[in-house]
């Protein structure tokens, strides 16, 4: 009999949401099946007062979202099996809450039933209204968030990743700090033959927010778009992809300060090293296209 998949969870925090973090940890502890091992990474803070059994890692500074999550990933790397002591990792925002008690079991079932499934993206819903924002549905046809489907990217703070994916394609791009790090990992995973599913029945409750609340939003979104293309796309698609995004940005008519930050980030994307370039295969481009999101949109 095959033993159940072992799950871990990585939560990064800046220490400014202790009540929300406690509620999230309680929701993880309530999951059915074998316990989920949890690592909380403090971004420039030491996190205390957590339930017994929750491991913590205190970083001397804020490494950004992908950098912090990579530290959490490494906390599970022991070399026992495939380099990890768990089979899959959940990544959860510290102000989120698992709505159901069977989410971990649904993850185990999904991964066990499809050995090529590498990443599962959860549905994010507002705890008061139950609504899911269009930007939280990782596909172009986002009008029905209750429809599960195969997708080409995933949501960073509400997902599960098979640890074998990290072994094969590497971890998140720490240099991104914030924005588009999930798509970078998704493209590398898809290029290696893995699949990604959006599951509407796996729900993380999370207050409705706007990404532009972050002061660095416009600069890093632009910079990381360039880095994403430079790192992953075949050379002919790089100018097409970036041209489409520039046109969309201008159509949305951001404020003058936002536009200046955006163009500053765009320039930075070309002038600052972005890590190794490993362009995806053309058959991966075709896979993305068949899934409804060619890598130019």
Q: Answer yes or no: is 52 within a domain.
A: yes
Residue 124 lies in a domain: yes
Whether the CB-CB separation of 262 and 216 falls below 8 Å is answered with: no
Q: Which of 161, 183, 209 is the last residue of a domain?
A: 209
pLDDT band at 82 (very low <50, low <70, confident <90, very high): low
CA angle at 27 for the pair 22 and 32, rounded to the nearest 5°? 145
The total of other beta-carbon atoms located within 10 Å of residue 28's CB is: 23
Are both 130 and 234 inside the same structural domain?
no
169 and 238 assigned to the same domain: no
Pair (144, 228) in one structural domain: no
Could you give the CA distance from residue 120 to residue 87 in angstroms, rounded to a whole number?
Answer: 13
Q: Which of 151, 180, 209 is the last residue of a domain?
A: 209
Euclidean distance between the first and the last CA atom of the chain, given in angstroms as a whole number: 45
- Report the distance separating Cα 131 and Cα 46, nearest Å: 34
| pTM for the model | 0.95
Same domain? For 119 and 164 the reply is: yes
Question: For the domain that residue 36 is a member of, what is the CATH number?
Answer: 3.90.550.10
| Residue 15 exposed, middle or buried by CB count within 10 Å (0-12, 13-18, 19+) | middle
Both 129 and 98 in one domain: the answer is: yes
Q: Label residue 247 exposed, middle or buried (CB < 10 Å: 0-12, 13-18, 19+).
A: exposed
Same domain, 149 and 277: no
Q: Among residues 189, 209, 229, which one ends one of the domains?
A: 209
pLDDT (tens digit per residue) in 27-37: 999 999 999 99
Instruction: Say whether both 13 and 157 belong to one domain.
Output: yes
What pLDDT is stored for residue 210 in this prediction? 73
Same domain, 130 and 27: yes
pLDDT tens track for 177-236: 999 999 999 999 999 999 999 999 999 999 987 765 555 899 999 999 999 999 999 999
Looking at per-residue confidence, does 268 or 211 come out higher?
A: 268
Q: Is residue 125 part of a domain?
A: yes
> What percentage of residues in the chain have a pLDDT greater than 90?
90
- Is the pLDDT confidence value at 92 over 70? yes
What distance in Å separates the CA atoms of residue 130 and residue 116, rounded to the nearest whole number? 31
Judge whether 1 lies within some domain.
Answer: no
63: confidence class by pLDDT, cuts 50, 70, 90 = very high
Radius of gyration of the chain (CA): 19
State whether 157 and 90 are in the same domain.
yes
Is 295 within the bounds of a domain? no
Residue 2 lies in a domain: no
pLDDT value for 216: 84
What is the bridge-based pairing of β-strands 195-205 and 149-150?
antiparallel
**DSSP code, position 180:** S
Q: Is 297 contained in some domain?
A: no
| Total count of domains within the chain | 2
- In whole angstroms, what separates CA 84 from the centre of its chain? 19
Structure tokens at 16: 């400014």
Q: How far is CA 88 from CA 9, 140, 202, in A?
A: 8, 27, 15
Are 41 and 137 part of one and the same domain? yes
Q: What is the mean pLDDT of residues 279-288?
A: 98
Confirm if 12 and 69 have CB atoms less than 8 A apart: yes
Strand-pair category, 117-125 with 37-42: unpaired
Range with lowest mean pLDDT among 2-6, 105-109, 149-153, 278-282: 2-6
pLDDT in tens, 108-137: 999 999 999 999 999 999 999 999 999 999
Host domain of residue 148: 7-209
Residues 124 and 266 in one domain: no
34 & 74 share domain: yes
pLDDT bracket for residue 81 (50, 70, 90): low
**pLDDT (0 to 100) of residue 79:** 58
What value does the mean pLDDT of the chain take? Answer: 94
Averaged pLDDT for residues 96-116: 98
Using 50, 70 and 90 to split pLDDT, how confident is the model at 172? very high
Is there a domain that residue 137 lies in?
yes
């Amino acid at each position: 009999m095959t033993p159940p998949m072992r799950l871990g969870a990585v939560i990064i925090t800046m220490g400014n949401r202790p009540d929300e973090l406690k509620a999230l940890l309680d929701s993880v502890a309530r999951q059915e099946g074998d316990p989920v091992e949890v690592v909380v990474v403090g971004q420039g803070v030491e996190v205390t007062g957590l339930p017994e059994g929750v491991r913590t890692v205190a970083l001397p500074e804020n490494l950004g979202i992908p950098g912090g999550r990579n530290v959490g990933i490494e906390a599970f790397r022991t070399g026992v099996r495939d380099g990890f002591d768990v089979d899959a990792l959940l990544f959860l925002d510290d102000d989120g809450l698992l709505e159901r008690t069977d989410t971990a079991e649904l993850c185990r079932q999904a991964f066990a039933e499809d050995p090529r499934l590498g990443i599962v993206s959860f549905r994010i819903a507002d705890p008061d209204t139950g609504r899911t924002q269009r930007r939280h549905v990782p596909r172009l046809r986002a009008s029905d968030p209750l429809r599960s489907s195969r997708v080409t990217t995933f949501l960073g703070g509400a997902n599960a990743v098979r640890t074998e994916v990290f072994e094969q394609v590497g971890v998140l791009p720490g240099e991104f700090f914030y924005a588009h790090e999930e798509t970078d990992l998704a493209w590398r995973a898809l290029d290696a033959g893995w699949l990604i599913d959006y599951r509407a029945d796996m729900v993380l409750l999370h207050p409705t927010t706007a990404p532009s609340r972050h002061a660095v939003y416009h600069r890093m979104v632009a910079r990381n778009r360039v880095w994403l293309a430079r790192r992953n796309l075949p050379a002919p698609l790089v100018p097409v992809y970036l041209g489409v995004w520039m046109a969309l940005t201008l159509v949305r008519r951001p404020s003058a300060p936002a536009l200046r930050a955006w163009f500053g980030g765009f320039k930075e994307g070309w002038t600052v090293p972005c890590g190794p370039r490993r362009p995806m295969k053309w058959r991966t481009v075709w896979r993305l296209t068949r899934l409804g999101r060619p890598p130019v949109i």
